[in-house]
Amino acid sequence: MENSEQDNYHTEPEKTSDVNSIIESYSPYPLISPVAAAFLGLFGGFFLFHVVGSGLVALFIGLDLNSVPTDQFRLISIAGEIMFIFLPAIVLGKWIYGNNSKIISLKIPKWKELSLFILGIVILTPLLQSYLYIQNYLIERLAEYSQFFNTIKTGLDFFNELIEKTYLNLMSANSIPEMLFVIITVSIFPALCEEVLFRGYIQRSFEMKINPFYAALITAVFFALFHLIPTNIIPLTIIGFYLGFAAYRSQSLVIPMVLHFLNNFFAIMFFFIFGDEEIINSDVTNMAALNTNLIYFFLFLLMFTAVIFLIKNYYKKRINIPEV
């Protein structure tokens, strides 16, 4: 009798497991293909943030954003991140997958894990600054020898200056409290909201159907295009891909959120230290500066490659996640 009771006790979990698997097999989720869900998030986020959001701002405030009081402009920016980036990701995740836990993980990373990724972003920031100098130098030289490239450069310069002045309006601060408000607006909210949409909802949706490498790369390209800065598409794609790599390897959004925050925080510090003249009117025709940036670029590239190797080795020792 005792053995019989023990047998019944041990078989009960199996029956429960079978019932759960049957229920899951008949689950209506996801309601559409994860790839279609990812593109819905991409185009929906772009339309809501850049079209609907900009339209509402123009309707109630006007087209000249530089005339808007700075604090009001920062509050509008925060509201836009929440309403048109964060909330759509949460709503779409719940609607399509039935449970946001399938696409949004906030698992707390280990300190060594986080430190390795932070080291990577600390190296990647000057690496991309050197790359931008080299890229802009080449564009400047091409514009000198080709009317076609000169026309393109003139259009890009006008568009870049317009976008950069908008960002500079957000980042200008005359006191410590105002500087903290800048950090909240430019670093904290974009890091939280954009990572939930891009590395959370969108990349995780892609990962359900395609190779993680391509999932992170596609998400990174759209992340770069989303920011509407043509000359920064390659650096933003690289940053986005690094954030996607962090999200996949850590299986959490916490690390990419921290990295995103630090990347924007470094930009704010750069602005506070060097000012807007260095950002908008930097000279990219100096051959000596070009040679210096080439040396820095390859030096930082070597260091960044070493950090990627350390990160991959860390996960190889710790857990068995497929390479990306």
d(CA 12, CA 311): 43
* Comparison of pLDDT for 92 and 283, the residue scoring more: 92
* pLDDT at 4 exceeding the cut of 60: no
In this prediction, residues 216-244 reach a mean pLDDT of 95
Rounded Cα distance, 29 and 222, in Å? 26
DSSP element (H, E) containing 27: none
Selection from 194, 185, 188, 195 nearest residue 106 by Cα: 195
Kindly give, in sequence order, each residue whose CB lies less than 8 Å from that of residue 159, ignoring residues fewer than 6 positions away: 230
Mean pLDDT in residue range 12-31: 60
The mean pLDDT value for 181-195 works out to 95
Q: Are 92 and 41 in contact (CB under 8 A)?
A: yes
The radius of gyration of the chain's CA atoms, rounded to the nearest angstrom, is 23
Paired tokens of 130: 């050197």
Domain extent listing, the chain: 105-318
Please give the structure tokens belonging to residue 219.
Answer: 């998400």
- Which of 236, 231, 230 is closest to 217 using CA atoms? 236
Instruction: Count Cα atoms within 13 angstroms, Cβ side, for 93.
Output: 24
Q: For all residues of the chain together, what is the average pLDDT?
A: 85
Report the distance separating Cα 255 and Cα 107, nearest Å.
9
Confidence of residue 12 (pLDDT cuts 50, 70, 90): very low
Minimum mean pLDDT among 69-73, 87-91, 95-99, 225-229: which range?
69-73
Confidence of residue 5 (pLDDT cuts 50, 70, 90): very low
Model confidence band, residue 282 (pLDDT cutoffs 50, 70, 90): low
Burial class (CB in 10 A: 0-12, 13-18, 19+), 288: exposed
Mean pLDDT (whole number) for 197-224: 96
pTM tops 0.75 = yes
